[in-house]
Chain A
């Protein structure tokens, strides 16, 4: 999949929307963020890929929502306050997060490759680690990998059925 996110270590600067899920801080390229809405009640989607919690009706469009905390294995944010609506390669996807915090401008020299161990473990969802002068580092996400995963699990499911 072509990188939908313009975000990469070579970019002079990128803006990351900072999200909190399961006690961890993540960043998503703001280019991909269409909007952030207060989490409405989710309609569960049966038979759907594991990562998909359900769907919401966003002004006439029905979009799937992924629990970001669970997707990243850091604890569910089912009671999260916000849904971050992403548009990735014409695909609309909602991320349920505990909170949307702020927007962070990232300079190239604050970017680090994710630790080798995490990529080896199939942790392809993290594109880079953003070191912060103060506090915890932010994990910059590769949301298109998330879409990829949903697709794969949807196909597995179809194959199994």
Chain B
């Protein structure tokens, strides 16, 4: 199933690339036609396309395609570097390549068609190489084995030349057959002869031949390839043997090949240089036709359009609420009770449909993590070589889906973590051996869904993190004070501190890389958290927990004074009812004894300068970002709700402590709290602004 999906994505991505390539080729053709030099920007674009095509097809194991792309890349590189100049031949090669690949991706499931296409790719690659080598050189090699007059060779079109090569390479005999026709009826005669040759082999080219034919007659030479020898050919074609000139002698072959050769010829594009050449029968036009049609039924959509859809759904939800109100009003009046009940029924079904609609729109945003993981494994392959380490990368859960926007922003931090594991955590082979570990290091990336979150873990069996060294460095930096009691967890957490560059902290002999603080803030920006676990000499595991989507979240609605706020539920650990007398004050800080542990408290009313109401009891919302905890005191808990979070526009987009706003039914905008900012400020003892 998932393989299917992956393949569909592959096809759709390849088609996108091919589409771009077609555009670029067309634009280059205009330039070449006008005699201008190739626009380097277009050539570069084409080069990049070929490059992505190579990577993509290689990744999916379509080696022939990948190799062709690789050849194209070489050619384009040559063009880019000015080693060669673009001409129509080169362009038509690109064209053919695009057509070929496009017909190949349409036949991925048809093994026979696939191997046929792959064969054509092989021959196309040869021609690409020949084109790169330049026309003069390509005249050399195999044509020298062909005993053809120079005039004939020069008269061949590129395609005919290619067919000649092909047949020579396949070891068939190549003849130049001279035949005289009555001038008045030579067209008929030629096409009859060509048909006859089709049945026996492949007519490559028909050339008018100067020479000693009687006045009323005209002589043509037909270049043809066949497995038959001269005598049987003469007999079959009803031509005198002396009119058949063997120009290339192939290996002796069993006769059965003629059929294949014939179909090959008809299936290929026949150049209309000679009008006498019989018209191509039906099946021959198939490849070009199929290349015009899109094979996959995938549509690429700008994610902002999905946001718009999401907004519309949100508005519909509000409209729905109004309908329910009307239904309720109607139901209470005896005169309209029946209509009210009907309306209520309709309303309920509308509600269900709307929920489905919302779910569908959300589903469209979801993409499997495979895309990211594939990128990472490519980088990992390179890293292995660059670092000279033996590392096995295991990937699990690549089908786990996440919001496209999150996936985009996940690449960098995840890459960073994996790079660290390869670079710093996994020891050199020698070192591993002396520790009694298997020489091959292991890095595992695992993704799975947990509730409304997706967890991505990167584990390695490397040297782990030396807590003592981290602590030492943190002391030097004044991040912790001498004698401060820290749990092992808290010490490891220092690695994420921006003040600590971990490379310095733990040095190259025991370290992880730099920039874990960046990883944490990147993940926090996505509404996620990063935690770390490690045992020196054994392993390190870094876990990133992310919400499945940013478009919609579960929010806890809280109230202070006359205002209400939404708190993302994924950072709410628990809620407690607090008697104001339980709150202890020390050093101007308020604390609560939470099961024996002190919990730092902040009052939302004070943070945001809101007139508190005389509520008596308060509620504490325990917020957690990673291992940091704080309690936010509010007056009311008003339940959970799905919320679509939106940024605040205009010049006030960055108010500290506010992540955005959401609309709740008819009650207008409700601000969504930025929990990580609140927790961070509280822990740093920063006063409310």
Contacts and interface: CB of A to CB of B under 8 A. Distances in A.
A40 B663 CA distance: 13
B656 interface: yes
Contacts of B315: 59-60
B669 A47 contact: no
A48 B610 CA distance: 13
In the complex, the 8 A-B pairs of residues with the closest C-beta atoms, listed nearest first: A46-B608, A60-B311, A57-B669, A62-B661, A161-B689, A150-B651, A43-B669, A57-B663
15 contacts: A44-B563, A44-B610, A45-B648, A47-B608, A47-B609, A47-B689, A49-B652, A57-B663, A59-B315, A60-B314, A62-B648, A62-B669, A91-B649, A154-B654, A158-B656
Interface in B60-96: none
B646 interface: yes
A151 interface: yes
Contact of A43 (B311, B646, B655, B661): B661
Contacts of B312: 60
A147 interface: yes
Contacts of B283: none
Contacts of A64: 648-652
Contact of B658 (A45, A57, A61, A147): A45
Interface in A35-60: 40-49, 52, 55-57, 59-60
B361 to A, nearest CB: 13
Contacts of A63: 648-650
B650 A161 contact: no
Given A46-B609, A60-B314, A150-B652, 17 more contacts: A43-B563, A43-B668, A43-B669, A43-B670, A44-B610, A46-B607, A47-B656, A48-B652, A49-B651, A49-B652, A55-B648, A55-B671, A56-B668, A57-B668, A147-B651, A157-B689, A160-B689
Interface of A: 40-49, 52, 55-57, 59-64, 91-93, 147, 150-151, 154, 157-158, 160-161
A161 B686 CA distance: 8
Contacts of A150: 650-652
Contacts of B610: 44, 46
Contact of B651 (A42, A57, A60, A91): A91
A33 to B, nearest CB: 15
B657 A62 contact: no
Contacts of A41: 668
A55 B661 contact: yes
Contacts of B670: 43
A134 B157 CA distance: 87
Nearest to B605: A46
Residue among A49, A55, A91, A151 with the most chain B CB within 10 A? Answer: A55
B663 A161 contact: no
A154 B689 CA distance: 12
Contacts of B656: 47, 158, 161
A55 B610 CA distance: 16
A49 B654 CA distance: 10
Contacts of B607: 46
A30 B647 CA distance: 26
A156 to B, nearest CB: 11
A145 B646 CA distance: 26
A160 B688 CA distance: 11
A47 B655 CA distance: 6
B311 A46 contact: no
B464 interface: no
Interface in B626-646: 646
Contacts of B441: none
B201 interface: no
A46 B650 contact: no
A133 B563 CA distance: 47
Given A43-B661, A46-B608, A59-B315, A154 B669 contact: no
Contacts of B462: none
A103 B447 CA distance: 59
Nearest to A161: B689
A56 B655 contact: no
B250 interface: no
Contacts of A46: 607-610, 655, 657-658, 671
Nearest to A149: B651
A158 B655 CA distance: 9
B445 to A, nearest CB: 37
Contacts of B655: 45-48
B650 A91 contact: yes
B515 interface: no
B660 interface: yes
A57 B315 CA distance: 11
A92 B650 contact: yes
A161 B689 CA distance: 5
A42 B655 CA distance: 17
B689 to A, nearest CB: 4
A57 B311 contact: no
Interface string B478-512: 00000000000000000000000000000000000
Residue among B607, B646, B652, B656 with the most chain A CB within 10 A? Answer: B652
B37 to A, nearest CB: 38
B657 A57 contact: no
A98 B610 CA distance: 26
Contacts of B648: 45, 55, 62-64
Contacts of B661: 43, 55, 57, 62
A34 B608 CA distance: 31
A62 B608 CA distance: 19
B657 A47 contact: yes
Contacts of B649: 61-64, 91-92
A63 B669 CA distance: 10
A157 B655 CA distance: 9
Nearest to B686: A161
A93 B646 contact: no
B671 A154 contact: no
A56 B667 CA distance: 10
Contacts of B658: 45-47
A60 B317 CA distance: 12
Contacts of B652: 45, 48-49, 52, 55, 64, 150, 154
A147 B669 CA distance: 22
Nearest to A61: B649
B660 A62 contact: yes
Contacts of B671: 43, 45-46, 55
Interface in B555-581: 563
A87 B647 CA distance: 16
A48 B646 CA distance: 17
A160 B607 CA distance: 15
A40 B668 contact: yes
Interface string B664-675: 000011110000
A15 to B, nearest CB: 24
Contacts of A57: 661, 663, 668-669
A47 B607 CA distance: 9
Contacts of A158: 654, 656
A63 B648 CA distance: 6
B652 to A, nearest CB: 5
Contacts of A52: 652
Nearest to A46: B608
Interface in B603-617: 607-610
A91 B663 CA distance: 21
A31 B330 CA distance: 45
A55 B661 CA distance: 9
